[in-house]
Structure 1
Amino acid sequence: MDRRSFLKNSGISTLPVITGLGAAAFQPAAAPEAALKTINFVQDGIGFTPTEYIQQLAEIDKVHAIERDYYAEKGVVDALLKKFAVITGKEAAIYMPSGTMANQLAIHVLCGGSTKVYVQETSHVFRDEGDAAQSVYGKRLLPLARGKHYFTAAELEAENTYLANGEYFAAPAGAISIENPVRRCLGQVVPLSELKAIAAWSKKRGYKMHLDGARLHLACAYSGVSVKEYADCFDTVYMCLYKYLGANSGAVLCGSKAVIDQMPHLVKIHGGGMWQNWHNAAVALHFLEGIDERLLRARERAASVFAKLNLLPGVEILPIPEGSNVFRFRLAAQYNPQTFSGTLREKYAIRIAASPEEDGYARIHVNESILLREENAILSAFKAALGV
């Protein structure tokens, strides 16, 4: 069966551009085949091509005319910021060009005159932001829980006591930054009970808390905890616009008005003042509507599909302990990973990374793109690629 016939028989050829993946009011006409969405098991979101992205903007603009912003103020950006403030339960929000800037400026402001920040050793702030805290902002990052996705309140207390007793010029930390879920730990989720314990510990000592929530909605889908419940433990929260909300880039930082009011000047002096941001804000706002419900449906669809795929000879799909949307995936030795993934990609519009990593497993990322094909169609594609 060729790809055109397969897509027609699977029912996807009659679906609208985003088939229930955005606001309920958005129901554009049937999409041409060139715009059909791929099931993307490689990333945390759908992952639009440039052509698809342009089509998304055009369709959104037809339903609700996109109002442009002025340096991330007014227009659709304002609508997006108000939405995030409600979702997180914070007083205010600001648009920033990147998550790194959002994380670093939040930590900088929360710390005040203090120079120490507690972080997970596996966190993006510690491992993936170019030592910005040290080199730009003069903050000393104190990593905890090496190789793990979270530290406990007891571990934090022990480290805090050790520093207080072991440094000649003792100075307390000013802030605690926690990433949840943790990308470097395959999307593992920090337990809410531990976050609450850390928040209570921090409040007693006057420490402020920042949440790197780049993938927070994914944690919510698998933990059953809402964004607001997580955000309540923190003074500031960063949310990404492109991980799973479809935008090409962008970040939103939420917090108290007193904190957020300090950010526009800092964004400007660090080179983050972008003239136009509506093209990111409009897409993110559109996909933000109903995201929790869609991710829950994606989780349920994946659970059913993976259970049936595990019954096939030579296929193994395993969840990550305390995980979210990332799963381990392994093919038996008789299958060629490149041939398998190539067949799925070329014939059935399914992207998957089948080549194993150091632990012998590849990774499968579940996102709402799994809703773009009926379950039986997905199973049929895998069976065909396996030749069973």
Structure 2
Amino acid sequence: MKKYHISRHHRFITIGLNFEKADAETRGRFALSQAAIDELLEQAREEGIDGLLVCSTCNRTELHGFAASPEHLIRLLCTHSHGTEEVFESIGYVYENTEAIAHLFRVGSGLDSQILGDFEIISQLKKSFIASKAAGIANPFLERLLNAVIQASKRVKNETRISSGATSVAFAAVQYLMARVPDIGNKRILLFGLGKIGRNTCENLVKHTGHSRITLINRTLQNAESIGGRFDLLVRPLDALQEEVGRSDVIIVATGSPTPTLTPEQFGGTAESEQAEVRKRWILDLSIPMNVDPAISDIDGVTRVHLDQLSQITDQTILERRKDIPKAEAIIEEVKAEFGAWLESRRFAPVIKALNQKLKHLRDEEIDFQSRKFSDFHHEQAEAVADRIIHKITRQFANHLKDDGSDTDESLEWIRKVFQLESDNS
């Protein structure tokens, strides 16, 4: 793998944890709310971090940025979450420079998702960059890198079968219900929480089950009414939650709260143990941190499922997608190489600029000398010819520096010495 020059002063570092080694409870402790992200970005800027992207989803929490050491970023993460550095050391990962860039490409292209081909992360990365820019801690490198990742993601989505069909936690939830809940079309379903995952789950429920007996509850009633109106579904206010919990056979929770929003107490006096037949119910928790109290599993007849369990469901569609992983990886390598070429050109651009200025200074001196020497000297023609020569010379040097076979450091130093250019400290 080609090594790219990143920065003379800081390394480009990724630190994070994801579903592979951190369970839902642990990921919940390291999860960051938007308010926490804003505070983290502000502290990072004050501490001299040069460019930072913070992404916290149900599957991962990651920081991507320029710092003197990974420990700096890890400390920032732990300061603004409920995680500790000791726990991070046991389940977290650190990538630097080329490896950090490669990791972000895989994440953004759906190859590092909990469910292969889930591209929800791209919208999260875009949102993260907007937050960084608002905080004054987004630099041209991060912007160019994110644009390259978005380009790779689009190509993987359009040119491979990695994302064929629906592939997301929301879709997996609906697939789970269709496969395991008898007579799903006649069950009462409650969907609590209508953020992005909740909206997607609602759409998948209607699309794949044809179900209309779905009740929507959301903290913001207006959002629930908008979605309910779109699909002709029943909408109830938040204070009707306990009533709907008692009525529902299937409850899907996607509230995104830092604490449980569904607890045993909300089931009231509906314990089924005294009845002749225990009523079966299914509760799906699509949130990080977990928004369904684990104690609910102790209620008779209740099956509680978290998104980590949903992601383990593998069907034939996923197996087919895996066949296209090499094709997706080839696309990523192609776009990554283009980004690497830009990065290298950014490295030698100051030298080429300085060379251009030096040659123009020599041009001005020579034109001034010749204009005093010849009475019929044509100033504009001489300048036009000289400019074309300068352009050709600088282009030749730039092409040489772009050549993979050249030693860029040695060439840059040679140009500086020969043309007596000022040392580049960028």
Tell me the TM-score normalized by structure 1.
0.33
The structure whose residues are more often helix, as a share, is: 2
Which structure has the larger Rg? Answer: 2
